[in-house]
Amino acid sequence: MTRRYPIVLGLLLALLAGAVTAAVAAGSVPLPPGQVWAILLHNVHPALAEPTWTAARETIVMDVRLPRVLLAAVVGAGLAVCGMALQALVRNPLADPMLLGVSSGASVGAVGVLVFGLGFFGVFSLPIAAFAGALTALVAVYFLARQGGRMTTVRLVLAGVAMAEVLSAVASFLVVTSNDPHKTQSAVRWMLGGLAGTTWTMVWIPAAAVVAGTVVLLGVSRPLNLLLAGEEAAASLGLDVHRFRAALFVLVAVMIGTIVAVSGSIGFVGLIMPHVVRLLIGADHRRALPATALLGASFLILADLLARTLIAPEEIPVGILTALVGGPFFLWLMRRRSK
């Protein structure tokens, strides 16, 4: 496993570079990959590449496609990393931000801000409200699923699914009864997730939260490992389990809140990526967290690429595609575990 790690990490980096290139190149105006990189390099530093392209093409790359691709990377990486952290925190490999109702909680917060026009915190209103919703849902599911200090998979999944259903219904209700002229469209976006119309201003907050959050999680990767051994063993190895879990719930809620505020709830990324990574390089979070972040970024970039090209010029909400892959995967995982 240890010797395999550098190879896997190298392959994942190559996959990410390939996914970014393909996603920036593809679209209604197809661009050659070489030109994509020339434009990107030129914008990093003008001396790195001679401009041989039209200004329109540069606008397509820099202002239309790149922000969307980067946001897909940030959202994918964030969901995957949060999924892995949640799985350790509840010690259950079936945990996922959407399955536990965390994403729906964030949706309710975000939709509430939009519908009621609350804007106390300027550009931060949406992510802060989404964070509050996410944290409330997560804590509620955790305590509903826990009984006498124990938490079974069945209770966790049932509590999560019920919470997700109720909160999705609340969010849809808020959208449908609002004065929004594009009610149906925005309801679909919140429920199924989508990255259409991404601009640079939408990228920064989730990018900062995901990068900072991932660094913090890497710093606590050893304690996360201890949780996999069980609460009592973790305590005997020096971890203050309750305080640690509470702090990480807040961290995960911050990340999910900022993600959902821009993308709606995209499901299953947080379930599939950690599992694939564990199969490849094992469960040690010191190695698995970076790998799952890279894989999640590539996965969502490619899923979003399909979402906007399959039936172009129409778009499919990207959450539909991740659910098409993720639902069967979830069922397979459940069957495998019950053996």
Interface residue list for other proteins (CB under 8 A): 1, 87, 91-93, 218-220, 222-223, 225-226, 228-233, 235-240, 278-279, 282-284, 286, 337
Separation CA 299–CA 14 (nearest Å): 13
Separation CA 339–CA 335 (nearest Å): 7
Separation CA 164–CA 141 (nearest Å): 10
Select 93 or 264, whichever has its Cβ closest to other proteins. 93
Shortest CB 56 distance to other proteins, Å: 46
Shortest CB 145 distance to other proteins, Å: 16
What CA–CA distances, in Å, run from 52 to 1, 48, 145, 266? 46, 13, 60, 38
Burial of 314 (0-12, 13-18, 19+ CB in 10 A): exposed
Select 226 or 321, whichever has its Cβ closest to other proteins. 226
Select 122 or 238, whichever has its Cβ closest to other proteins. 238
Select 190 or 330, whichever has its Cβ closest to other proteins. 330
Burial of 333 (0-12, 13-18, 19+ CB in 10 A): middle
Shortest CB 278 distance to other proteins, Å: 5
Select 159 or 220, whichever has its Cβ closest to other proteins. 220
Cis previous bond, 313, omega within 30: yes
Shortest CB 87 distance to other proteins, Å: 8
Select 182 or 337, whichever has its Cβ closest to other proteins. 337
Shortest CB 318 distance to other proteins, Å: 29
Alpha helices by DSSP H, listed for 117-152, are 125-145
Shortest CB 230 distance to other proteins, Å: 4
Q: Of the candidates 302, 280, 331, which has an alpha carbon nearest to the alpha carbon of residue 99?
A: 331
